[in-house]
Structure 1
């Protein structure tokens, strides 16, 4: 996957639009809800921040991926969930309020945990100074990429809630259009290598997706968390914001390694299948229940 104007310029723009749209949907309540309903949030975040990187590491070692792809997989595993997770949760009749809370909290935490996971991965898979990690100055750029657009969106919502509500739809459409355009251009540029990328990381990405969805649902259920919250957790943990992983990998001022973006790009397409199947299964297995807040 070669860096190009589409990936180095328009991808960050797409990510900024996506995170701005997320901010338009958030309020301070979405961050403070964890205090009132801690159990489901803590269990889900524990799975996301601790269990999932270990599972991804196990898959990387099992399939003996080359270092750059291994780091790309770990970068993906450390990326937070996003608005797509909220959509799947809604379709599956999960607790979307919990999804919003998890997305909000995890997006903040990821600014710290994501560089830690990436730096540990670089140290583990590369020898000596073969790779340069996300140092403190670069962590500030991760902060800017992930949280500044969210903060701007939240500020717009607070100052002009009616305007923010009207803009949520158009912003979501714009983010999808820009992201699809970037993906189409990138795939076209790499049309001769697509099958090779799928062969290299396709199975690992699929297994990570399935494992993430299963962990996100079964672990909360083992802790006696009710079904709708477990469904929300499954999609929050199983549907990563691969755009963040791709943008960090490709950014000339961050990792600047196009091959590290391959797992995120492959995962972003592959994960739609297991997530869609699971959403359909959850939707069919239980009668509709009213949308509500976290219980």
Structure 2
């Protein structure tokens, strides 16, 4: 991949995406963790514990290439994407989950990825390892823009509201560019990667959406909150996963699963949204 996209484009892309999240956040959103502890706890447990375990079992079951297997585990360890709140549900809860999950993932992501690296031992040109110091740099690009966005909202809620839509549009454009750049960089292997990772990505996304909805419902969480959980769990921050893979680990192949997942997750999430809200009855 072009060095400019790696060294500048990816960090800027991630910062823009997370700044957009910050524009919609207030300090009161974090208090929702105490007001709705069951909904938050079930969603976070599904995201942080169940998904990595399910992804690990899935890549073992299909005997995925070690590098791509680590890439899938990196994706599974990434927090929910900011685009998750585009879908119908408790948007406020969704935003809270994304923010809290992004903070927690700064610790859990290195643990999960290093476990995957040790287990699968991918054959690469150099040794791979995810040091906490390097991850801290990436998550500074996650958390600092969020804080700046929150400060902008505190300074002027009206300005934040006006800027929210343009920033979201830019975020989507940036995401498309990042995905396209990742795929183009490995263009000669794209067909093989799609064959290897495509089905795994679809199965993992479908499982994530289903678990994100059904487990909260089993825990007697309201339907509207369960819908928010489904999209928080099923829609990952692919930009973060691609940035860690390329900018931190220095491997474009590791970024391929996140790029493929980003392509398949939106139609699957849209289909899930239609199924969950097709009767158009008010969500409780």
Match of 1:287 in 2: 281
- Unpaired segments ≥5 residues, structure 2: none
Asked if 1:106 is matched to 2:101, the reply is: yes
**Aligned with residue 207 of structure 1, among 188, 203, 206:** 203
Match of 1:29 in 2: 28
Match of 2:265 in 1: 271
CA-based RMSD of the aligned residues comes to: 2.0
Contact (CA 8 Å) 1:122, 1:131: kept in 2 or not?
A: no
**Aligned with residue 116 of structure 2, among 100, 117, 121:** 121
Match of 1:293 in 2: none
- Cα 1:258–1:190 shift into 2, 3 Å: closer
**Aligned with residue 153 of structure 2, among 143, 157, 162:** 157
Match of 1:12 in 2: 11
Contact (CA 8 Å) 2:212, 2:226: kept in 1 or not?
A: yes
TM-score (norm 1): 0.90
Contact (CA 8 Å) 1:7, 1:182: kept in 2 or not?
A: no
Secondary structure in structure 1 of the residue aligned to 2:166 = helix
1:191-230 equivalent positions in 2, closer than 5 A: 191-230=187-226
Distance 2:106 2:33 in 1: 19
Secondary structure in structure 2 of the residue aligned to 1:236 = helix
Q: Would you identify which runs of 4 or more consecutive aligned residues in structure 1 move more than 6 Å? A: 127-130
Paired residues in the alignment total: 283
What's the offset of the Cα at 1:145?
2.2
Which moves more between the two structures, 220-229 or 281-290? Answer: 281-290
- Cα 1:135–1:147 shift into 2, 3 Å: same
Contact (CA 8 Å) 1:11, 1:179: kept in 2 or not?
A: no
What's the offset of the Cα at 1:136?
2.7
Deviations 1:106-165 (A, max 9, x none): 011111111111111111111899633221321321321221111111112112222222
Contact (CA 8 Å) 2:70, 2:120: kept in 1 or not?
A: yes
